[in-house]
Homo-oligomer: A and B are copies of this chain.
Amino acid sequence: MKREYELVENAVGRLVPTVVNGKEQVPYMGVAKHRPEGRKAAPPIASAADYPADGDKVVKDLRTALEAAGLKDGMTVSTHHHLRNGDFVANMVFDVAAEMGVKDLMWFPSASFPCHARNIEHMDSGVIHHIEGSMNGPLGRYCSEGRMRGMGVLRSHGGRYQAVQDGEVHIDIAVIAAPTADPFGNANALEGPSACGLLGFALADSQYADKVIVVTDNLVPFPCVPWQIQGNYVDYVVAVESIGDPEKIVSGTTQITRSPDRQLIAELTARFVREAGIMRDGFSFQAGAGGTALAFAIYLKEMMKEAGVKARFVRGGSTQYLVEMLEEGLTDYILDGQTFDLEGVRSMRENPGHVWTSPFTSYNYNGKGFFGTMVDVVVLGATEVDVDFNANVVTHSDGVLLHGIGGWQNCLFSKCTILPIPSFRDRIPVLVDEVTTLVGPGELIDVIVTERGIAINPARRDLLDAVRGSDLPVRPIQDIKADVEKIVGGPPARPEFGDKVVAAIKWVDGTVIDCVRQLP
């Protein structure tokens, strides 16, 4: 019997479902308020007696592997987004499942991209029941329109590790696309035509799934060294012609913003980091691969050189710009979670200054600490921010679910979180009274940098004091918002939603912080 959900108000005043896809939920209780109970998930004990003594786990094709792994109706199958919008493997999996006549699968991707749009057919035909995982683009819209049978569940990278570790999501079969692998299942993403850097998003799956299949287009003799996925967790290996389209896996080069407004925002952000005293010897920062974040890193780099300051570590996504900092001795290490361009992949292969991290090391909240809290300053994006500094990254003001959470929620735990954002986009204000979807609580968001000024969270008196007397354009967030509304003619129209909840938004500890409603 399918349990129905009710809606209850959580600690940030959002109505959230009490049951998601048949599982009882804990509503969000506030930052560091919820304590998990019980013990971690426990996969079945295997025996080497059931695996080939010569270590050769290669089977002839993906169907053979999925059949051997016992694929059947209602199972949960996971894939990963290391190959981003160039991935072929997640589509192969559900094509084979369709061929096999299997139904009602839960697809548990670390993220899905527009290249996975054909899985919409598999949802329409009943092969896939629903998706729990980031849905970028068309799959997000499909979910928003209420066409998916189950509820979407969005988790951060750390939250996905947490959910698997804690047994909230039991993966029956994990399928890991690996740019290089050996017949035992050891795998990495450093070599091969589809090299993409790292395989950390599949770590939890390899550790906790009942069955693990590695799919590669570059099979090498044992041992595949270094291994990022350990063959000792792997059941079957499949060699295919190609696992992805290299042109879409990593950018040839990452692109810095050319917009003068975005450049101004990036420069203000870097200046804030300097003026607030964060940029000091041995500090650390994280910035993504978006155009503004890249520009920020370049401004900061110049300021660091000028001041003779060296970082202890930078958290990646590696890009050519971070690689330059490493090579110029401006940081001891890059702590990589993924890799965004070819220079990043090359450097990761060659330079031991790259430290491989994973959602377990960097982001898992239900662990004995995580690296994210040790980062001095992190620079992130947002689709909306409200006057209480709550922020949204998954929907736009029109209510359409178009983005995943990524590591965004996990990064909020840094010592200083800055959102450099334009104050409006396409004449729609980004600063609002109330965010459409609350993904990050305002108490963790410290600074908003716009082209019209810098707003500091009033709770961070220390930051307000630190930049007092500087020539930075610090202003109350309400003032910036009022300016914008004057320009565009008022606040954005609120979308009209249906009643149905189409997706739940998880907080890093597994509680439900908000949900997304069906579009009319």
- A residues with a Cβ closer than 8 A to B are 32-55, 57, 165-166, 184-185, 212, 221-223, 225-226, 230-235, 282, 312-313, 333, 335, 352, 355, 360-361, 364-371, 373-374, 413, 509
Interface hub of A45, A52, A221 (most chain B Cβ within 10 A): A45
Are A46 and B374 within 8 A (Cβ)? Answer: no
Checking B52, B235, B361, B368 against A46 with a beta-carbon cut-off of 8 angstroms, the contacting residue is B368
Query: Do A48 and B355 touch (CB < 8 A)?
Result: no
For the complex of A and B, list the 3 residue pairs with the smallest distance between their C-beta atoms, beginning with the closest.
Answer: A39-B42, A51-B369, A32-B49
Number of copies of this protein chain within its complex: 2
Q: List 12 A-B contacts (CB under 8 A).
A: A36-B45, A36-B46, A39-B44, A47-B365, A48-B373, A51-B368, A185-B368, A222-B312, A222-B313, A223-B313, A231-B361, A232-B364
A53: contacting residue among B42, B184, B355, B413, CB under 8 A: B413
Q: Kindly state the separation between the CA atoms of A166 and B46 in the bound complex, as whole angstroms.
A: 10
Taking a contact as CB atoms under 8 Å apart, the answer to whether A335 and B223 are in contact is yes
B42 touches A42 (CB 8 A): yes
Which B residues lie within 8 Å of A166 (CB)?
Answer: 45
Contact present for A370 and B48 (CB under 8 Å)? yes
A148 to chain B, nearest CB (A): 29
Q: Which chain B residue has the least Cβ–Cβ distance from A373?
A: B53
Smallest Cβ distance from A32 to chain B, in angstroms?
A: 4
Which chain B residues border A55 with CB–CB below 8 Å? 369, 371, 373-374
How far does the alpha carbon of A40 sit from the alpha carbon of B312 in the complex, in Å?
Answer: 38
- In the bound assembly, the distance between CA atoms of A233 and B46 in angstroms comes to 23
**Please, which residues of chain B bring their CB within 8 A of the CB of A367?**
46, 48, 232
In the complex formed, the residue of B with least CB distance to A222 is B374
Kindly list chain B residues whose C-beta atoms are within 8 Å of the C-beta of A373: 48, 53-55
Query: Contacts of A360 on B, CB cut-off 8 Å?
Result: 230, 232
> CA A46 – CA B364 in complex, angstroms?
10
User: Do the beta carbons of A369 and B231 come within 8 Å of each other?
Assistant: yes
Which of B41, B45, B413, B509 is within 8 Å of A47, CB to CB? B509
State in angstroms the CA–CA spacing of A333 and B220 once bound together: 14
| Pairwise interchain contact B49-A35, C-beta atoms closer than 8 A | yes
Q: 19 more A-B contacts (CB under 8 A) besides A40-B43, A184-B369?
A: A34-B47, A35-B47, A36-B45, A45-B366, A47-B366, A48-B368, A48-B369, A53-B373, A53-B413, A54-B373, A54-B374, A57-B369, A184-B374, A212-B368, A222-B313, A222-B374, A226-B355, A231-B368, A235-B368
Assembly CA distance A369 to B51 (angstroms)? 6
